Chain A
Amino acid sequence: DGGITQSPKYLFRKEGQNVTLSCEQNLNHDAMYWYRQDPGQGLRLIYYSQIVNDFQKGDIAEGYSVSREKKESFPLTVTSAQKNPTAFYLCASSAGNEQYFGPGTRLTVT
């Protein structure tokens, strides 16, 4: 089955801890993206990567970091510097215009 997976589905962390969200795709897509969604809101772009070993900041990159060591994987780390980390995080990949989304990870930080 081709697709994009995110794990875990739900994640709970204490304030001050870094946490890494996983995103894996087997669609052979070059481009991958991380978005954040808050209740009743649209998606906001955190980071994107157009090719392995390269990535760019999106609109709300502060407090987040990423790596792109493999084409299939684009993990997102939510650092303790992110002031409001509780949100729904969506990963996507693309080979052109259309984006394919994973099921999302709901992160709760208390």
Chain B
Amino acid sequence: SQQGEEDPQALSIQEGENATMNCSYKTSINNLQWYRQNSGRGLVHLILIRSNEREKHSGRLRVTLDTSKKSSSLLITASRAADTASYFCALRGSGGGADGLTFGKGTHLIIQP
């Protein structure tokens, strides 16, 4: 199964700045999801974007999807210390079904106070 690849692997910014992380993939998808994981915890779903959508917003989060480039980006605006976490993109293949998501290795985001 295909895997998304996040970039960068790690990102450190000052509180209040915007954070952008990217996810690239290789085959067709039904949807792409972003999850957050605080250290040593389970994952929390942030946002889902379907293959026929180009942009979605949720609070301080903005996700874009470019299916021609097979890439997605997650923008967190006005970052806070509490945003420090690892962020994963997860792919649902175009075959559909409930056979689990394929996760990338994640971007570790550190917000400096």
Contact = CB atoms under 8 A, between A and B. Distances in A.
Contacts of B103: 35, 42-44
Contact of B99 (A48, A90, A106): A48
Interface in B83-111: 88, 90, 92, 98-106
A59 interface: yes
Given A59-B1, A101-B43, A43 B88 contact: yes
Interface string B1-43: 1010000000000000000000000000001010000001111
Interface residues of B, number: 23
A102 B43 CA distance: 8
B92 A97 contact: yes
A103 B42 CA distance: 4
Contact of A98 (B45, B100, B105, B106): B45
A42 B42 contact: no
B66 to A, nearest CB: 20
Contacts of B42: 4, 6, 90, 92, 101-104
Interface string B42-70: 11110010000000000000000000000
B80 to A, nearest CB: 22
Interface of B: 1, 3, 31, 33, 40-45, 48, 88, 90, 92, 98-106
19 contacts: A30-B98, A33-B100, A35-B103, A42-B3, A42-B88, A42-B105, A42-B106, A43-B43, A43-B88, A45-B1, A45-B101, A90-B42, A97-B92, A98-B33, A99-B43, A101-B42, A102-B42, A103-B41, A104-B41
Given A42-B88, A43-B88, 14 more contacts: A4-B42, A6-B42, A30-B98, A35-B103, A42-B105, A45-B102, A50-B98, A58-B99, A90-B42, A92-B42, A94-B98, A97-B31, A98-B45, A99-B101
